[in-house]
Chain A
Amino acid sequence: SQQGEEDPQALSIQEGENATMNCSYKTSINNLQWYRQNSGRGLVHLILIRSNEREKHSGRLRVTLDTSKKSSSLLITASRAADTASYFCAEQGAQKLVFGQGTRLTINP
């Protein structure tokens, strides 16, 4: 299977803390993307980082990419209750994305 792995599978933190999720992938990529999914809903695109980039920011999100280790991380700073969701990384291949299994993030008030 080409699917990568995400770590941890589940994460529970207090509101205001930072949350870090990691993703490992298996193939050479054009880019790597992160998505969020609220329970029972479709996925929402968060951020895309290209293979020649090492770090990217968007609001409270920070994504890093290490192509030598085939890994990426998503950091959410100053978490809020509304950040509770599942987060997926997806590696971009030819014409298609391959998604990881996701990290279930719970923010406790």
Chain B
Amino acid sequence: SQTIHQWPATLVQPVGSPLSLECTVEGTSNPNLYWYRQAAGRGLQLLFYSVGIGQISSEVPQNLSASRPQDRQFILSSKKLLLSDSGFYLCAWSPGGDGEQYFGPGTRLTVT
């Protein structure tokens, strides 16, 4: 069966520090991968998605970047965090572009 992992679960970082969040999927190959951010009590905002290694689509201009160095690995990064980067970051995968998505447990990021 397929599983999706995210780490860390929680993170507290000072403003101006770098960020690296990792997401890995097991039990499938060539998944579509997604990064979302969720503000408290709000819906999900799509940040990046990838349909293959090295293929990244950015949805919102911002302080973040994404990379997909391996088929089942998706990384969200920032060189210098802003207070507004605080939120709940969710990684998801889907077997194709037109079906249900499967979400990881999320990372709670607090920028202080």
Mark A residues whose CB is within 8 Å of B.
3, 30-31, 33, 40-45, 48, 88, 92, 94-102, 104
Does B106 touch A at the CB level, under 8 Å? yes
Contact assessment for A48 and B99 in the assembled complex, using a CB-CB cutoff below 8 Å: yes
**Chain A positions within 8 Å of B34 at CB level:** 96
From B43, B59, B90, A102 is in contact (CB under 8 Å) with B43
A-B contact count (CB 8 A): 53
**Is A43's CB under 8 angstroms from B90's CB?**
yes
In the complex the two chains form, what is the Cα distance from A101 to B49 in whole Å? Answer: 20
- Select which of A30, A42, A88 is within 8 A of B104 by beta carbon: A42
Most buried by B among A96, A97, A102, A104: A97
Q: Do the beta carbons of B97 and A95 come within 8 Å of each other?
A: yes
- Known contacts: A40-B108, A95-B97. The answer to whether A45 contacts B102 by CB under 8 A is yes
List residues of B whose CB falls within 8 A of some A CB. 32, 34, 36, 41-44, 46, 49, 51, 57, 59, 88, 90, 92, 97-106, 108
Output the least CB separation between A103 and chain B (Å): 10
User: Which A residues touch B101, using CB under 8 A?
Assistant: 43, 45, 97
8 contacts between A and B (CB under 8 A): A42-B106, A43-B92, A88-B44, A94-B97, A96-B46, A96-B97, A99-B44, A101-B43
User: Known: A95-B32, A102-B42, A102-B43. Contact between A41 and B99, CB under 8 A?
Assistant: no
- What is the bound-complex CA distance between A54 and B2, given in angstroms? 30
Given the complex, which residues of A lie within 8 Å of B36, measured CB to CB?
A: 99
Cβ contact within 8 Å between A42 and B49: no
Which residues of chain B are within 8 angstroms of A42 by Cβ–Cβ distance? Answer: 90, 92, 103-106
Which residues of B sit under 8 angstroms from A101, Cβ to Cβ?
42-43
| Chain B positions within 8 Å of A92 at CB level | 98
Assembled-state Cα–Cα distance A31/B104 (Å): 22
Task: State how many angstroms separate the Cβ of A37 from the closest Cβ of chain B.
Answer: 8
